[in-house]
Amino acid sequence: MAPITELPRYLRVLYPFESHFFEAPGGKLHFIDEGEGEAVLMFHGNPTWSFYYRNLVLSLKDRYRAIAVDHLGCGLSDRPAKFTYHLADHIDNACRLVEHLGLKRFHLVLHDWGGPVGLGLAQRHFDKVGKVVFLNTAAFFARPLPLPIQLCRSVGLGALLTRGLNAFLLGSIFKCTQRSLTTETKHGYLWPYKTIKNREAIYRFVRDIPVNSAHPSYRTLKDIQDFLPHLAEKSLHAFWGMKDFVFDEAYLDAWREHYPLMPIKRYEDAGHWVLEDAKGRIESDIAAFLGDRLPNA
C-alpha cells in the first residue's frame, strides 16, 4: 500500500513539515528533516508515528537538524502486506536512513519501541552516536506484559482488536496520557490508521514482543541488552512520565541498574506519551541536555 501524503489542512497546522522518502526493502519510508546543525534522530514507538515528535522538532529545528522517521507500516510510510515487521527489519531501516542521509554523527531520542530500534542502530554505528535521550522505553527483557497487551498480541482476538477495531490505538490515546488531547491531536494520531489495512504494523509490533527464546526477535533484543553496558560511555539522560501504566517506575529502576550515573528527569504528572503530557516543559529540558556541542567527527 502506498504512503499517505495528502494530510488535511488542520493536521498540516500541527505537523507543518515537508515530507521526505527513501527506498527500503518492502517500500518507501517517510521522514521529516528540519533545520541545520547537529543531527538529532528520533524514533517513535507503537502505535504512534513521527507526529509524536512534532513539538520537539519545532523546538529544536532552529539549532539542530531534527529528523523523525516513520517505521515501515506506520505514519506516512508504505504498508507492505508481505513483510515480517520484526525488530531486526526496523533496525535495518534505521541504518539505511543514516546511510541515505550520509550522517557522520547524531544524537538519539527514543520512545517506546523506538528504544530497541534506536539502540540497535547505536550498536551498529556506535562511533557515530553522540547523546541518547530515553523517553519511557526499554531495550531489555522485563516483567510480564500487562493483560491488555497480552490480549492484543493473541492471534485471533489480537488481530480483531488491533486491526479490526483499532482498539490498541484508541486505547492508547486515552490510556497513555494524563491530560486530554485536543480533538485535532487525537485525529493526528488516528489519521494514518483509518482502515484495517493501514493498521497491520500496529498488530505486528505487538506480536513482535519477544516473550520467549523461540520468538524471532528474541536474539535481536538479547544482543541489544548485552550491548547496553558499552553505551555507558555515552552521555545519557532519561526523561520519564511517572504515570505510565506499562513503562512504570520498575522499568526506570532497571535503567538505573544499567546506568547508575544517568541523570533522570521525572514528570510526576505525565503518562506514557510523555511528550504530550509534559508539552511546554520537556522540549526545553531535552534541548538543555543536548546543548553541549558534539566533538568534531
What tens-digit pLDDT sequence spans the chain (297 residues)?
A: 444 557 888 899 999 999 999 999 999 999 999 999 999 999 999 999 999 999 999 999 999 999 999 999 999 999 998 899 999 999 999 999 999 999 999 999 999 999 999 999 999 999 999 999 999 999 998 777 777 788 888 888 899 999 999 999 999 999 999 999 999 999 999 999 999 999 999 999 999 999 889 999 999 999 999 999 999 999 999 999 999 999 999 999 999 999 999 999 999 999 999 999 999 999 999 999 999 654 433
Residue 131 within any structural domain of the chain = yes
Residue 223 within any structural domain of the chain = yes
pTM of the model: 0.95
CATH code of the domain containing 162: 3.40.50.1820
pLDDT confidence of residue 112? 97
Judged on CB neighbours under 10 Å (0-12, 13-18, 19+), 195 is: exposed
Distance (Å, whole) CA 273 – CA 271 = 6
The residues near 283 (Cβ < 8 Å, ≥ 6 apart) are 55, 56, 59, 60
Residue 53 within any structural domain of the chain = yes
Residue 295 within any structural domain of the chain = no
Residue 151 within any structural domain of the chain = yes
Residue 9 within any structural domain of the chain = no
Q: Return the ∠ at Cα 146 (arms to 143 and 147), rounded to 5°.
A: 135
Q: Which three cell numbers stand for residue 175?
A: 490510556
Q: What is the 3-state secondary structure (H, E, C) of the chain?
A: CCCCCCCCHHHHHHCCCCCEEEEECCEEEEEEEECCCCEEEEECCCCCCHHHHHHHHHHHCCCCEEEEECCCCCCCCCCCCCCCCCHHHHHHHHHHHHHHHCCCCEEEEEEECHHHHHHHHHHHCHHHEEEEEEEEECCCCCCCCCHHHHHHCCCHHHHHHHHHCCHHHHHHHHHCCCCCCCHHHHHHHHHHHCCCHHHHHHHHHHHCCCCCCCCCCHHHHHHHHHHHHHHCCCEEEEEEECCCCCCCHHHHHHHHHHCCCCCEEEECCCCCCHHHHCCCCHHHHHHHHHCCCCCCC
* Domains held by the chain: number: 1
Residue 176 within any structural domain of the chain = yes
Place of cell 552521555: 235
Residue type, 178: Q
Domain holding 110, by residue range, is 18-290
Place of cell 482488536: 161
Residue 79 within any structural domain of the chain = yes
How far is the CA of 268 from the CAs of 109, 144, 262, in angstroms? Answer: 20, 24, 18
